[in-house]
Chains A and B, each alone.
Chain A
């Protein structure tokens, strides 16, 4: 094998990689926050059968959990302009990630809500709390704590999945990688480094969410 590895060729493109990484982090952060919100609202509607939203959320969840992310993305970016809705690449990527994560979050959080012991609800009812107050003050935080590891995994999956957003020219990390290797023809080195960056980001994201989320949800409880 006579190939000479040249990682310096990739190191020279650090600004490009950093910009891509920053965009990936940004997309993931927005998806995480918005997806969580959708998940909480959707899960509440599903668990407590609030009509007609429970049905709407059920349809939404099944639609987006049972179609490929790439197809969802292409539909938003290439499909919608046909009916007059133009979305910029970044917005389309963000929207697709939010919608996708939201669908999974609804189901994850719902399982946490449904694991609430009946006695907790009865105690809250006996204390004259209304339904939404019970949800907000009694059910929600323990439910999120219960499913937080699963939720964290899903955020990491969506972060990794964001690589396909390069297909609609969102300038995230994998887009930067493909641009760099088309300039320096160093595919091995470029994708090796890029994979390393995804790995580091995934591990960091998982740890941050698990620890930070856990601490926030537990508030010093042992």
Chain B
């Protein structure tokens, strides 16, 4: 059953036509990776899925529900289903790690503090930061902050998790601790849509890789085919440049 269904998506930034008719279907439990050069539209595509970017034509449906409306209520409904992790972590600096995780379920869903506290502890344990509940974000390394950001997104129990270059701002030695968490989520059946420059990781973890080029899906398929037998010269160039 398809969870996310994108058809004929177009987006313009002023004179720039950044998405030129994108179709993409993501099933429950899929791990989809968007790759491509910068400016190819992959981050924009990802951000339309939870309404951080609007679009001009086409449609996105999530679990049968159509997105596209710009009204605040529909967007909020959508965002309840879609979690997101950002390149720059974006933890809230005025809240402790525990509060970062509990804030949204408390404020948005009105869940009880007692239950939330337990869930937050469990989530922190899951991302390997059980002892950081009372720490402040700026006391953590980048990798730790990003793992907290993942826990924070999971606390809303999303159906899909979007990851926007989540290791690009990290020192090289911190990349793996974050990727390990994502790998574990993938193994547990979480539906993931990721923009990444970690090609080895994309090949190991995802079951569908989408190569974007000039605002379109240029080539897509299973990673084993895509990376070992790229069909188009653009992808051949890209793969030889990055792998």
Contacts and interface: CB of A to CB of B under 8 A. Distances in A.
B1 interface: no
Contacts of B149: 123
Contact of A137 (B93, B103, B136): B103
Given A127-B108, A127-B152, A130-B76, A141 B94 contact: yes
Interface string B32-70: 000000000000000000111000000000000000000
Nearest to B152: A127
Interface string B151-164: 01100100000000
A219 B79 CA distance: 30
Range of interface residues on B (Cβ < 8 Å): 20 to 34
B86 to A, nearest CB: 6
A169 interface: no
Interface in B78-110: 79-80, 82-84, 86, 88, 90-94, 103-104, 107-108
A142 B153 contact: no
Interface in A102-159: 117, 119-120, 122-131, 133, 137-138, 141-142, 145
A221 interface: yes
Contacts of A120: 90, 92
A142 B93 contact: yes
B88 A127 contact: no
Nearest to A141: B94
Interface residues on A, range: 20 to 34
Contacts of A125: 51-52, 79
B94 A126 contact: no
Given A133-B107, A137-B107, A222-B136, A127 B94 contact: no
Interface string A181-222: 000000000000000000000000000000000000111011
Ranked 3 nearest A-B pairs via Cβ: A123-B90, A127-B104, A126-B84
